[in-house]
């Protein structure tokens, strides 16, 4: 499959993740962030384990729990803390710094060269997300900022390590291991810090099905497939598709306004994503001329 096809398939994941805010606010009971994260990750992970019939070996068990923590448990908890303590635009802009962090981590852990074009594209993407989402009433809470930066760093580390540690199994099995591990880590936290869920309605169950089956199982399988095939910097830039989708859904589904500044921000983000794919292309080795 061509690199363009790999990029498009991988981009589907963050584009669909952009629906998480809409589904959570419109179809989920409020006040249960960790419990909902467990219900999003654990059933999807167990279902994929049943379908793939592939359990991690002893050597991969520890790595699966570490990656599950970075990509799901720690990332989702910090994301919720940032969302509660910061305006959504500020939280999303801090999350967009993940692309810059991936470039630096890939240099240290994978030996990937830092290319100026990739850094410029990542910086432009962060600026575009800021234009897209940050309003005039934006405020900074120290705990929220720390959580936003920590969440970005957690997902960045998970992305780079997922590329560094490639198991001899399919992307679907790799996703199953991490989702199950992440859900198991979050389960005791949810039981300790949150009250029991109220009876779930049909709308709640439909929302959970979307978040778990599509927003977790299917999309993360595409994401980890892309991590294995594409350069870490290129993959991380695709994550900026999520806020664009969220704004488009808010405009089309909820009737929210879309200002010229937001429109310009969306254009900047899309341009940065495109530039990031070009800047992060693998360098071709020059074939020496025949003597």
pLDDT digits (tens, 9 = 90+) for 69-120: 999 999 988 888 887 777 666 778 888 899 999 999 999 999 999 999 999 9
Cα-based distances in Å from 221 to 145, 178, 228, 233? 29, 10, 11, 18
Range with the poorest average pLDDT among 98-102, 122-126, 127-131, 249-253: 249-253
Compute the Cα dihedral for 118, 146, 245, 139 and give only its sign: negative
Closest Cα partner for 143 from 82, 189, 97, 93? 82
Q: How far apart are the first and last CA of the chain?
A: 35
Phi then psi dihedrals of residue 194, to 5 deg: -125, 145
Neighbour count for residue 15 (Cβ, 10 Å)? 18
Task: Please give the model's pTM, rounded to 2 decimal places.
Answer: 0.90
Residues 26 and 29: their CA atoms lie apart, in Å, by 9
Residues 141 and 88: their CA atoms lie apart, in Å, by 12
Residues 85 and 238: their CA atoms lie apart, in Å, by 26
Rg for the chain, CA atoms, rounded: 19
Q: Largest Cα–Cα distance in the chain?
A: 77
Q: What is residue 25's predicted lDDT score, i.e. its pLDDT?
A: 81
Residues 67 and 174: their CA atoms lie apart, in Å, by 10
Q: What is residue 21's predicted lDDT score, i.e. its pLDDT?
A: 80
Closest Cα partner for 215 from 2, 17, 14, 15? 17
Residues 6+ apart with CB under 8 A from 181: 45, 64, 65, 67, 68, 69, 72
The answer to whether residues 100 and 237 touch, using CB atoms and an 8 Å cutoff, is no
Tokens of residue 96, six digits: 């967009």
Q: What is the mean pLDDT of residues 206-227?
A: 94
Contacts of 224-227 with C-beta under 8 Å, sequence gap 24+, read 224/162, 224/171, 224/174, 224/175, 224/178, 225/6, 225/9, 225/10, 225/171, 226/6, 226/7, 226/9, 226/10, 226/13, 227/10, 227/159, 227/162, 227/163
Range with the poorest average pLDDT among 31-45, 84-98, 177-191, 243-257: 84-98
Tokens of residue 16, six digits: 């669909």
- pLDDT tens digits, residue range 51-61? 999 999 999 99
Instruction: Share the mean pLDDT of the chain.
Output: 90
């Amino acid at each position: 499959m061509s690199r363009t096809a790999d990029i498009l398939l991988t981009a589907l994941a963050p584009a669909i993740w952009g629906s998480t805010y809409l589904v959570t606010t419109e179809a989920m009971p409020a006040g249960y962030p960790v419990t909902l994260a467990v219900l999003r990750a654990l059933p999807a992970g167990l279902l994929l384990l049943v379908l793939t019939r592939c359990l991690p070996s002893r050597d991969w068990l520890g790595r699966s729990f570490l990656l599950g923590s970075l990509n799901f448990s720690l990332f989702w908890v910090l994301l919720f803390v940032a969302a509660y303590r910061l305006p959504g635009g500020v939280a999303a802009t801090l999350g967009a710094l993940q692309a810059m962090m991936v470039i630096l981590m890939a240099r240290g852990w994978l030996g990937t060269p830092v290319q100026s074009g990739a850094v410029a594209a990542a910086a432009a993407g962060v600026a575009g997300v800021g234009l897209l989402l940050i309003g005039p009433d934006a405020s900074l809470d120290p705990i929220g900022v720390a959580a936003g930066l920590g969440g970005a760093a957690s997902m960045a580390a998970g992305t780079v390590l997922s590329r560094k540690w490639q198991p001899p199994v399919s992307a679907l099995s790799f996703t199953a291991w991490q989702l199950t591990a992440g859900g198991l880590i979050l389960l005791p936290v949810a039981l300790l810090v949150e009250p029991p869920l109220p009876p779930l309605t049909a709308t709640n169950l439909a929302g959970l099905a979307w978040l778990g089956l599509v927003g977790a199982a299917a999309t993360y399988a595409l994401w980890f497939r892309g991590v294995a095939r594409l350069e870490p910097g290129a993959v991380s830039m695709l994550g900026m598709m999520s806020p664009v989708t969220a704004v488009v859904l808010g405009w089309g589904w909820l009737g929210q306004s879309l200002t010229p500044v937001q429109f310009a921000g969306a254009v900047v983000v899309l341009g940065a994503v495109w530039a990031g794919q070009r800047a992060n292309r693998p360098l071709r080795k020059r074939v020496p001329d025949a003597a």
